[in-house]
């Protein structure tokens, strides 16, 4: 496909990195430094404004199979998308940071007035906020996804120094019925249960254990890592879009919420919109303020300002002051592992949700990218087509990719070697992104 991306920053740059291997990619950016920044990639860079028709023409928007608007301005993205559609782009994706735009553009009357429509409007901050809330509500977990309409849970735990699982071989460990150990992530690399040496692998501190579990068995798995612990109080540092949505959702779950925000006007707005929360005007890196507001009593701290350095400093202060779980927003995916190496429990980047959304849009209708771990490990959901040749799940497993569960007629089944997959089943699998295409070819052949 011929793909034009408007904006070579945080989201656009990551999209270019993901798409350039399989597609012809052009990036439009106003900053001349974008050429140098994107030089390692096999992409063409056009310097200019994404809302300038001459720039769009130079980028070849008229022959684009897909135009993606991913600058850091909602208004630029919207105008660029409409211009690209008018100039002949076949399909248009538009990223926004404000939910109001999503609602307006989804209204058929808007397309009628404009005389055209944007094919898909994406709001990655919403996906990020939902992921943060899901992880908050599961003590000790560093990632969690609901599958099969909530009948399955995919959950990730970190092995801690001095904990019950550090330096023990997997073969020695037993788990509740209804729980499957999917694999281990070590230094960003995935080792699935199909690997010949998997059972003899000795777990090390900072390894991440991946599980899939039935809804019934999930509390028993939770008890293995966080017996008797619940989440009562959460402190959110940064009251922007993500912080607001996290606080809003937690209040619905009857969690006590404290929001610290540096902007006075934003604080006043948050106080009106979040009547159940304690909203404080201040700096989330002010240690005296954090102590005065009882950070040591918080079960979780979420640092989601738009500044990586402030988020890191605030998160390290929270850890130093005794908070057991800290979740941090990062702008650059390459710094994510660095954050986690210095003790942050979970570092999330909005671009991850953005990439998943685009891959879903580009991929077959029967394949959904549920989540991405460590930037290169995918959890996929595949509806097996009518021409799928039935076979046992063992035949679909390989070292860098493993089937973990099936859903059939609203019934879920965890992986067994002799469990057969049939056309119409929904198959869940975890796979290294480098071999994702190979895995899909093996499954669907």
Which pLDDT tens digit goes with each residue over 260-274? 999 999 999 999 999
- Structure confidence by residue, pLDDT tens digits, 125-177: 888 898 899 999 988 888 888 899 889 999 999 998 888 999 999 999 999 99
**Which structure tokens are listed for 380?**
């996929």
Find the mean pLDDT for residues 185-204.
90
Find the mean pLDDT for residues 96-106.
78
**Closest by Cα among 227, 24, 245 to 132:** 245
> What is the assigned CATH class of domain 2-122?
alpha beta
Find the mean pLDDT for residues 275-295.
93
Name the segment(s) of the chain with CATH classification 3.40.50.720. 2-122, 233-352
Residue 235: per-residue pLDDT? 97
Q: Looking at the predicted structure, is the pLDDT value of residue 216 above 90? A: yes
Q: Looking at the predicted structure, is the pLDDT value of residue 227 above 90? A: no
Residue 331: per-residue pLDDT? 79
| CA atoms of 203 and 197, how far apart (whole Å) | 12
- What would the DSSP string read from start to end of 79-125? HHHHHHHHHT-SEEEEE-S-HHHHHHHHSHHHHHHHTS--SEEE-HH
Helix, strand and coil content of the chain, in percent to the nearest 5, comes to 35, 30, 35
Give the domain 233-352 fold.
Rossmann fold (3.40.50)
Residue 401: per-residue pLDDT? 85
Give pTM, 2 decimals.
0.80
Residue 112: per-residue pLDDT? 67
Name the segment(s) of the chain with CATH classification 3.30.70.1450. 353-444
Residue 349: per-residue pLDDT? 82
Task: Convert 301-313 to b/e letters by CB count within 10 Å (16 or more is b).
Answer: bbbbbebbebbbe
Q: Looking at the predicted structure, is the pLDDT value of residue 382 above 80? A: yes
Residue 181, beta-bridge partner list: 211
Look at strands 377-383 and 426-432 and give their pairing.
Answer: antiparallel
Mean residue pLDDT of the chain comes to: 90
Q: Looking at the predicted structure, is the pLDDT value of residue 105 above 70? A: yes
Backbone angles phi, psi at 185, to 5 degrees: -110, 120
Residue 302: per-residue pLDDT? 97
> Which of 4-13, 137-146, 226-235, 239-248 shows the lowest mean pLDDT across its residues?
226-235
> Percent of the chain scored above 70 by pLDDT?
96
> Which of 22-36, 106-120, 139-153, 377-391 shows the lowest mean pLDDT across its residues?
106-120
| CA atoms of 368 and 360, how far apart (whole Å) | 6
- Structure confidence by residue, pLDDT tens digits, 24-66: 999 999 999 999 999 999 999 999 999 999 999 999 999 999 9
- Structure confidence by residue, pLDDT tens digits, 322-354: 898 999 998 776 677 778 778 888 888 877 778
The architecture CATH gives domain 353-444: 2-Layer Sandwich (3.30)
Residue 333: per-residue pLDDT? 66
Residue 334: per-residue pLDDT? 67
Residue 111: per-residue pLDDT? 65
- Structure confidence by residue, pLDDT tens digits, 317-328: 999 998 989 999
């Amino acid at each position: 496909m011929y793909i034009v991306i408007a904006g070579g920053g945080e989201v656009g740059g990551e999209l270019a990195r993901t798409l350039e291997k399989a597609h012809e990619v052009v990036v439009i950016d106003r900053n001349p430094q974008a050429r140098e920044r994107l030089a390692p990639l096999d992409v063409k860079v056009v310097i200019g404004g994404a809302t300038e028709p001459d720039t769009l023409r130079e980028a070849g928007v008229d022959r684009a199979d897909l135009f993606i608007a991913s600058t850091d301005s909602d208004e630029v993205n919207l105008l660029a998308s409409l211009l690209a559609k008018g100039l002949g782009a076949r399909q248009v994706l538009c990223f926004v940071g404000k939910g109001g735009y999503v609602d307006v553009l989804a209204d058929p009357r808007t397309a009628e007035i404009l005389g055209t429509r944007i094919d898909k409007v994406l709001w990655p901050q919403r996906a990020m906020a939902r992921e943060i809330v899901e992880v908050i509500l599961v003590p000790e977990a560093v990632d969690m996804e609901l599958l099969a309409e909530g009948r399955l849970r995919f959950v990730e735990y970190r092995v801690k120094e001095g904990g019950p699982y550090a330096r023990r071989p997997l073969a020695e460990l037993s788990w509740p019925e209804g729980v499957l150990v999917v694999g281990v992530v070590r230094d960003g690399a995935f080792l699935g249960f199909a690997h010949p040496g998997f059972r003899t692998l000795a777990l090390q501190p900072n390894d991440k254990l991946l599980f899939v579990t039935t809804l019934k068995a999930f509390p028993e798995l939770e008890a293995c890592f966080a017996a008797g612990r619940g989440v009562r109080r959460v402190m959110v540092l940064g009251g922007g879009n993500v912080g607001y949505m996290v606080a809003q959702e937690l209040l619905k779950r009857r969690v006590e919420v404290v929001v610290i925000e540096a902007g006075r006007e934003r604080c006043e707005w948050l106080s009106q919109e979040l009547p159940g929360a304690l909203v404080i005007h201040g700096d989330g890196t002010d240690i005296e303020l954090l102590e005065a507001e009882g950070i040591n009593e918080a079960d979780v701290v979420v640092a989601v300002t738009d500044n990586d350095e402030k988020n890191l400093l605030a998160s390290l202060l929270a850890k130093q002051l005794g908070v057991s779980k800290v979740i941090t927003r990062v702008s650059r995916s390459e710094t994510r592992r660095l954050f986690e190496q210095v003790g942050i429990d979970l570092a999330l980047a909005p671009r991850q949700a953005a990439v998943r959304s685009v891959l879903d849009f580009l991929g077959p209708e029967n394949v959904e990218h549920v989540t991405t771990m460590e930037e290169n490990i995918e959890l996929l959901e595949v509806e097996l087509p009518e021409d799928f040749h039935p076979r046992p799940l063992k035949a679909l497993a390989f070292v860098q990719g493993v089937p973990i569960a099936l859903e059939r007629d609203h019934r879920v089944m965890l992986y067994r070697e002799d469990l057969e997959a049939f056309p119409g089943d929904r198959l869940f699998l975890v796979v290294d992104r480098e071999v994702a295409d190979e895995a899909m070819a093996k499954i669907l052949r």
